[in-house]
Amino acid sequence: MRMTSQRKSILNLLSKTSQPKSAEMIFDEIPNHTMNLSTVYRTLDTFFEQGIISKSTMHNTSYYYINKKDHHHYMICLDCQKMYEMDCHLDVFADQVAKEHHFTITHHDMTVYGYCESCQQKHIEK
Protein backbone atom coordinates (compact mmCIF):
# COMPACT_ATOMS: atom_id res chain seq x y z
CA MET A 1 0.00 0.00 0.00
CA ARG A 2 1.36 3.38 -1.00
CA MET A 3 1.17 6.05 1.72
CA THR A 4 -0.18 9.12 -0.09
CA SER A 5 -0.48 12.54 1.52
CA GLN A 6 -4.24 12.02 1.83
CA ARG A 7 -3.75 8.70 3.61
CA LYS A 8 -1.16 10.29 5.91
CA SER A 9 -3.60 13.07 6.74
CA ILE A 10 -6.38 10.64 7.70
CA LEU A 11 -4.01 8.42 9.69
CA ASN A 12 -2.67 11.50 11.49
CA LEU A 13 -6.20 12.60 12.47
CA LEU A 14 -7.03 9.14 13.82
CA SER A 15 -3.77 8.87 15.75
CA LYS A 16 -4.42 12.16 17.57
CA THR A 17 -7.64 10.99 19.23
CA SER A 18 -8.53 8.42 21.84
CA GLN A 19 -12.15 8.17 20.68
CA PRO A 20 -13.29 6.44 17.48
CA LYS A 21 -14.39 8.76 14.67
CA SER A 22 -16.82 8.35 11.80
CA ALA A 23 -15.81 9.12 8.21
CA GLU A 24 -17.88 12.31 8.39
CA MET A 25 -16.13 13.41 11.59
CA ILE A 26 -12.75 12.83 9.95
CA PHE A 27 -13.85 14.67 6.80
CA ASP A 28 -14.93 17.69 8.89
CA GLU A 29 -11.47 17.87 10.49
CA ILE A 30 -9.52 17.82 7.22
CA PRO A 31 -8.05 21.30 6.68
CA ASN A 32 -9.67 23.13 3.77
CA HIS A 33 -11.46 19.89 2.78
CA THR A 34 -8.52 18.96 0.56
CA MET A 35 -10.22 15.65 -0.29
CA ASN A 36 -13.79 14.53 -0.76
CA LEU A 37 -15.81 12.28 1.53
CA SER A 38 -15.63 9.32 -0.85
CA THR A 39 -11.82 9.44 -0.62
CA VAL A 40 -12.08 9.34 3.17
CA TYR A 41 -14.34 6.26 2.97
CA ARG A 42 -12.06 4.49 0.46
CA THR A 43 -9.00 5.24 2.59
CA LEU A 44 -10.68 3.97 5.74
CA ASP A 45 -11.70 0.78 3.92
CA THR A 46 -8.11 0.27 2.76
CA PHE A 47 -6.74 0.84 6.28
CA PHE A 48 -9.31 -1.59 7.69
CA GLU A 49 -8.43 -4.27 5.11
CA GLN A 50 -4.72 -3.80 5.92
CA GLY A 51 -5.37 -4.16 9.68
CA ILE A 52 -4.18 -0.64 10.46
CA ILE A 53 -7.53 0.42 11.93
CA SER A 54 -10.59 -1.27 13.41
CA LYS A 55 -14.18 -0.14 13.43
CA SER A 56 -17.31 -0.36 15.55
CA THR A 57 -20.79 0.32 14.25
CA MET A 58 -23.62 2.13 16.02
CA HIS A 59 -26.90 3.27 14.45
CA ASN A 60 -25.67 2.33 10.96
CA THR A 61 -22.55 4.49 11.33
CA SER A 62 -19.04 3.04 11.48
CA TYR A 63 -16.53 4.56 13.89
CA TYR A 64 -12.85 3.97 13.18
CA TYR A 65 -9.83 3.83 15.47
CA ILE A 66 -6.14 2.97 15.21
CA ASN A 67 -5.16 -0.58 16.12
CA LYS A 68 -2.83 -0.47 19.07
CA LYS A 69 -0.35 -3.11 20.20
CA ASP A 70 -2.72 -4.03 23.01
CA HIS A 71 -5.82 -4.95 21.06
CA HIS A 72 -9.06 -3.60 22.53
CA HIS A 73 -12.78 -3.24 21.92
CA TYR A 74 -15.49 -0.78 22.90
CA MET A 75 -18.61 -0.65 25.00
CA ILE A 76 -21.08 1.92 23.67
CA CYS A 77 -23.93 3.45 25.67
CA LEU A 78 -27.13 3.30 23.64
CA ASP A 79 -28.44 6.43 25.34
CA CYS A 80 -25.63 9.00 25.57
CA GLN A 81 -23.46 7.21 22.95
CA LYS A 82 -20.34 7.50 25.09
CA MET A 83 -17.69 4.91 24.15
CA TYR A 84 -15.69 3.02 26.76
CA GLU A 85 -12.51 1.18 25.78
CA MET A 86 -12.10 -2.37 27.11
CA ASP A 87 -9.33 -4.94 26.85
CA CYS A 88 -9.71 -7.87 24.47
CA HIS A 89 -9.96 -11.33 25.98
CA LEU A 90 -11.08 -13.14 22.82
CA ASP A 91 -7.71 -14.08 21.33
CA VAL A 92 -7.32 -17.47 23.06
CA PHE A 93 -10.91 -18.46 22.31
CA ALA A 94 -10.70 -17.25 18.70
CA ASP A 95 -7.43 -19.11 18.12
CA GLN A 96 -8.93 -22.31 19.52
CA VAL A 97 -12.04 -22.09 17.31
CA ALA A 98 -9.93 -21.23 14.26
CA LYS A 99 -7.71 -24.26 14.87
CA GLU A 100 -10.73 -26.56 15.22
CA HIS A 101 -12.16 -25.31 11.92
CA HIS A 102 -8.85 -24.95 10.02
CA PHE A 103 -9.55 -21.24 9.65
CA THR A 104 -7.06 -18.38 9.42
CA ILE A 105 -8.23 -15.30 11.30
CA THR A 106 -7.07 -11.98 9.90
CA HIS A 107 -8.78 -9.82 12.53
CA HIS A 108 -11.83 -9.67 14.78
CA ASP A 109 -14.06 -7.00 16.19
CA MET A 110 -16.43 -6.88 19.12
CA THR A 111 -18.61 -4.02 20.26
CA VAL A 112 -20.71 -4.29 23.41
CA TYR A 113 -23.88 -2.20 23.60
CA GLY A 114 -25.78 -1.24 26.75
CA TYR A 115 -26.23 1.63 29.20
CA CYS A 116 -23.56 3.47 31.18
CA GLU A 117 -24.00 4.02 34.90
CA SER A 118 -25.61 7.45 34.43
CA CYS A 119 -28.04 6.28 31.75
CA GLN A 120 -29.01 3.16 33.70
CA GLN A 121 -30.65 5.41 36.28
CA LYS A 122 -32.75 7.09 33.57
CA HIS A 123 -34.02 3.74 32.34
CA ILE A 124 -34.79 2.46 35.85
CA GLU A 125 -36.86 5.57 36.60
CA LYS A 126 -39.03 5.19 33.45
| pLDDT tens digit sequence for 69-101 | 666 788 888 888 888 888 888 878 888 999 999
35 touches 6 (CB < 8 A): yes
pLDDT over threshold 70, residue 126 = no
SS3 for 12? helix
Mean pLDDT (whole number) for 30-56: 89
- Percent of the chain exceeding pLDDT 70 equals 94
Among residues 13, 20, 24, 11, the alpha carbon closest in space to that of 72 is found at 20
pLDDT over threshold 90, residue 60 = no
- Residue 7 CB-half CA count within 13 A: 14
Among residues 71, 111, 103, the alpha carbon closest in space to that of 87 is found at 71
Say how far residue 82 (Cα) sits from the centre of its chain: 13
Residue 115 confidence (pLDDT): 92
Residue 23 confidence (pLDDT): 95
Give the phi and the psi of residue 64 in degrees, each rounded to 5.
Answer: -110, 150
Q: Which domains does the chain have, with CATH numbers?
A: 1-67 (1.10.10.10), 69-126 (3.30.1490.190)
pLDDT over threshold 80, residue 124 = no
Mean pLDDT (whole number) for 50-78: 81
Residue 110 confidence (pLDDT): 78
Residue 12 confidence (pLDDT): 92
Q: What spatial distance separates the first Cα and last Cα of the chain, rounded to whole Å?
A: 52
